Structure 1
Amino acid sequence: MVNYSFKSILKELMRAGPTMNVDKDGSRAVLQGDERTAAKDLAATLYDALATGDRERLDAILHPRFEGRTTEGMPFELGGVYQGPDAMRRDFWGRIAKYYTARAEPTRFNWLDDGRLAVSGRYTGTARVGHGVLDAEFVHLLTFSDGRIVELVQLTDSEQWHKALTPESGLRTVEFSVTDGIAVLRLNRPRQRNAIDQTMADDLYEVAQRCAALVGLRALLIVGNGPAFTVGGDITVFADTEPGDLSTTLRRMVTPFHEALRIFAELPIPVVSAVHGSVGGGGLGLVYCSDVALAAEGTKFATGFTTLGLSGDGGTSWYLPRLVGLRRAQELYLGRVLDAVEAKEWGLISDVVDASELETTALSRVEALAAGPTRAYAEIRGLLRSADSSTLPEQLSAEIDALARTGATVDAARAVRTFIAKSAPAFEGR
């Protein structure tokens, strides 16, 4: 993660030097007098247009050959090079607006010797994910040509952008931590056997969004505190709901839960779940979206939906037939309870381990996966996810595209060389 103090931002920009020639003869124009005044006014217009979302003014002040260079290490892979006004507006400023309510507030305008205008200030606002406060210093370096802005180089305190997504906690029923690229999610309603209520559904959605936003995340482990991984939906909530309101309550609760499961399933990293005690109802969804599902000896698995007169959630109707087959899926829906050994035999989980070694074994697996070719894992997850809905020609074409993308990675180039040299590669996820 990139983390710049204000002084180091300015030092870095000064050291970077010119990045684009803007004059026809290849030299950089140095503005003087009235030209500088007009350029400062143009810069002020830029920040006002961004604050008000005025697309017409942005189109008027950005040069057709505009290029934006933004800070590496920002969340959601926002750092990089954007060619053209449309790309900058849509893929950078537009995506910032999707994840933050942020405003760039300039405080100082200084001309540099090479003809660029250095604008320093702060980004302020809040994150839509995590709801933390954003307060990050920035320096923008602007280049002008033909009365328009032709280049913007941005450096900012990217750590503050990440912190806004993950405030001190904000989570009430789950625990979430990230160490050395490995995220650990712990369901934490042990007295309720990690039953899923509205708060837990919201927390899981929050964590899923945080995982999607984290740069450098390489693997996720899902576990549960207390005597059970999760018994599924919180029946006490259903019992306390008036019969006429139950439909609305279920829809409100399951919607963020399902969105969390969707995000977990689509993360470009391997996901490992380690379950114990019992796994029931919609809580099975956290097992379904895992690439590796480990269970402690003696763990019980049941859908339990029909006991409550409900049709089910957690992606069960999609995943179960694919994992265990239609007939067995029907059997589970109609009340069959599996122990851990049966769950493995049926294909619901990957392996059964001693209860005392569950977390140790799971952490070892997730660490090994995190050290692997995560770009390749991401492509594999996508291919397997789309296989059932694709024709063979479509899947063959998708494999070619994925193979080409992974073949262009540093990890693949290094792995080929080390394979020939009979040594072990060090994968970096790039």
Structure 2
Amino acid sequence: MNVEHGGSPSPLPENERDAAEKLANSLYAALRTGDRERLDSLLDPRFEGRTTEGLPFDLGGVYRGADAMRRDFWGRIAKHYSARAVPERYNWLDDGSLVVAGRYTGTARVGDGVLDAEFVHILTFSQGRISGLVQLTDSERWHQALTPDSGLRAVEFSVTDGIGVLRLNRPYQRNAIDQTMADDLYEVAQRCSARTDLRVLVILGNGPAFTVGGDITVFADTEPAELSTTLRRMATPYHEALRIFAEMAVPVITAVHGSVGGGGLGMVYLADVALAAEGTKFATGFGALGLSGDGGTSWYLPRLVGLRRAQALYLGRVLDAREAREWGLISEVVAADRLEEIALDWAKTLAAGPTRAYAEVRNLLRRSESSTLPEQLSAEIDALARTGATVDAARAVRSFITKSKPTFEGR
């Protein structure tokens, strides 16, 4: 962390100033990692915090005692926001207080609004601990993060308790993929990739069908000479979204219903758990349009169902949900009226699991088709070493010995 120093020289001796700045650095590091024990060691028992009036959830006010500040202010912020305080400048006041200027960055846990607010903290010190903090920030920015204009037009996206839910939202067009939806999917993929609190992603579709694939009405309204350019323009952000989703370090659950067609199959291919409601139909449909296909079909299908079956699907074979399960295209067939419930139950289970280990498994499986056995064995050793160094692994081993249930945090 590089912090700019400026302003008036500290009235404190250099060794005390250095020690105080080290305490400040430790405070922001402990807040970033949620290290409660470290926070308790940094704050004086008589600590007093004064926070900005007008913050959401009545967070503004006076907090007397280290426990109150940790539990009732920082703890409640963590409940509603995935945010971090990033210090940028340190300046000393004549009375020995340290002024820290920086930014709060992150997102709201409900609504996915972006938090970007400047702050000024005035820290005071006593007997080698932080004895006080006065916070100044733009409270309106905190409110705006809770009620954002998402900017999304053809999909819905939210994150709650680490579970991201993406819904295709052109129900009256049977979620046909047009330029707007392709662009929105790319935007959501970028948001997912940037989040640190995401532990699982669920992909659903609003309306009578998950998606019928590319929007044929767009193709029909395009001049023949422009169709090639239109297809390239639409497929590019959509394929980039599929790539990001496939490479994310969290499990993906796709739950489909009604029908799944064309390039929309790409959102089924990339899932770790692919659920289908009874009666769902699956078809590539490319040949009927004189097109070669997209959505990663030529890569995924032979790997999922085998070459001969992939050829049959390309040449017009339509599968129902149970056939898709038998062929290996989906994981499980469920009752239509329980599709979303079962998908979210899966999500809760996976979100509570060792997500760092899941990320390594996703990567190993993805690369296995193109790796030799020696390369894959080596990659497994590397992944094993990385997961073995996690807090989750250490906790799980201890829990196994003590016959208790581990709590995984994804670190």
TM-score where L is the length of structure 2: 0.71
Aligned residues of 2:179 and 2:234 also touching (Cα < 8 A): yes
Alignment pair present for 1:399 and 2:376? no
Q: Which range moved further: 411-420 or 334-343? A: 411-420
Aligned residues of 2:189 and 2:241 also touching (Cα < 8 A): yes
1:292 is matched with: 273
Task: Give the whole-Å Cα distance in 1 for the aligned partners of 2:143 and 2:253.
Answer: 24
Q: CA deviation at 1:421?
A: 2.0
1:272 is matched with: 253
Alignment pair present for 1:309 and 2:290? yes
Q: CA deviation at 1:138?
A: 3.7
Match 1:234 to one of 188, 206, 215: 215
Q: Deviations over 1:258-310 (max 9, x none)?
A: 11111111111111011000000010011111100000011000011111111
**Aligned-residue CA RMSD in angstroms?**
3.6
Alignment pair present for 1:202 and 2:213? no
Q: Map residues 103-142 of structure 1 onto 2, 5 A cutoff.
A: 109-111=91-93, 118=99, 120=101, 135-139=116-120
Q: CA deviation at 1:176?
A: 0.9
Q: CA deviation at 1:422?
A: 2.0
Q: CA deviation at 1:120?
A: 2.8
Q: Deviations over 1:15-64 (max 9, x none)?
A: xxx9xxx98xxx4678xxxxxxxxxxxxxxxxxxxxxxxxxxxxxxxxxx
Q: Map residues 151-300 of structure 1 onto 2, 5 A cutoff.
A: 167-300=148-281
SS at 2:379 equivalent: helix
Task: Give the whole-Å Cα distance in 1 for the aligned partners of 2:91 and 2:154.
Answer: 47
Aligned residues of 1:112 and 1:118 also touching (Cα < 8 A): no
Aligned residues of 2:199 and 2:351 also touching (Cα < 8 A): yes
Alignment pair present for 1:420 and 2:401? yes
Which letter maps to 1:276? Answer: H
Q: Deviations over 1:341-381 (max 9, x none)?
A: 01000000001011111111111111111111111101100
Task: Give the whole-Å Cα distance in 2 for the aligned partners of 1:293 and 1:158.
Answer: 43
Q: Map residues 359-398 of structure 1 onto 2, 5 A cutoff.
A: 359-398=340-379
Task: Give the whole-Å Cα distance in 2 for the aligned partners of 1:229 and 1:214.
Answer: 26
SS at 2:117 equivalent: strand
Task: Give the whole-Å Cα distance in 2 for the aligned partners of 1:158 and 1:215.
Answer: 23
Task: Give the whole-Å Cα distance in 2 for the aligned partners of 1:404 and 1:119.
Answer: 39
Q: Map residues 11-50 of structure 1 onto 2, 5 A cutoff.
A: 27=15
Q: CA deviation at 1:117?
A: 6.7
Aligned residues of 1:71 and 1:156 also touching (Cα < 8 A): no
Q: CA deviation at 1:122?
A: 6.1
Task: Give the whole-Å Cα distance in 2 for the aligned partners of 1:162 and 1:260.
Answer: 30
The change in CA–CA distance for 1:105 and 1:382 in structure 2 (over 3 A counts) is closer
Which letter maps to 2:394? Answer: A
Task: Give the whole-Å Cα distance in 2 for the aligned partners of 1:210 and 1:376.
Answer: 22
Task: Give the whole-Å Cα distance in 2 for the aligned partners of 1:212 and 1:286.
Answer: 16
SS at 2:410 equivalent: coil
Aligned residues of 1:188 and 1:225 also touching (Cα < 8 A): yes
1:97 is matched with: none
2:337 is matched with: 356
The change in CA–CA distance for 1:72 and 1:178 in structure 2 (over 3 A counts) is farther
The change in CA–CA distance for 1:222 and 1:370 in structure 2 (over 3 A counts) is same
Aligned residues of 1:162 and 1:214 also touching (Cα < 8 A): no
Q: Which range moved further: 237-246 or 415-424? A: 415-424
Alignment pair present for 1:343 and 2:328? no
Which letter maps to 1:249? Answer: T
The change in CA–CA distance for 1:240 and 1:71 in structure 2 (over 3 A counts) is farther
The change in CA–CA distance for 1:110 and 1:261 in structure 2 (over 3 A counts) is same
Alignment pair present for 1:321 and 2:334? no
Q: CA deviation at 1:111?
A: 4.0
Aligned residues of 1:73 and 1:215 also touching (Cα < 8 A): no
Aligned residues of 1:132 and 1:163 also touching (Cα < 8 A): yes
Aligned residues of 2:204 and 2:210 also touching (Cα < 8 A): yes
The change in CA–CA distance for 1:368 and 1:135 in structure 2 (over 3 A counts) is closer
Task: Give the whole-Å Cα distance in 1 for the aligned partners of 2:375 and 2:234.
Answer: 36
Give the count of matched residue pairs. 325
2:54 is matched with: none
Q: Map residues 88-103 of structure 1 onto 2, 5 A cutoff.
A: none
Task: Give the whole-Å Cα distance in 2 for the aligned partners of 1:257 and 1:428.
Answer: 31
2:69 is matched with: none
Aligned residues of 2:90 and 2:98 also touching (Cα < 8 A): no
Q: CA deviation at 1:69?
A: 9.7
The change in CA–CA distance for 1:411 and 1:305 in structure 2 (over 3 A counts) is same
Task: Give the whole-Å Cα distance in 1 for the aligned partners of 2:385 and 2:137.
Answer: 34
Which letter maps to 1:270? Answer: P
Which letter maps to 1:334? Answer: L
Which letter maps to 1:246? Answer: L
Gaps of 5+ in 1: 1-17, 31-66, 75-103, 125-129, 142-154
SS at 1:389 equivalent: coil
The change in CA–CA distance for 1:414 and 1:280 in structure 2 (over 3 A counts) is same
The change in CA–CA distance for 1:165 and 1:321 in structure 2 (over 3 A counts) is farther
SS at 1:176 equivalent: strand
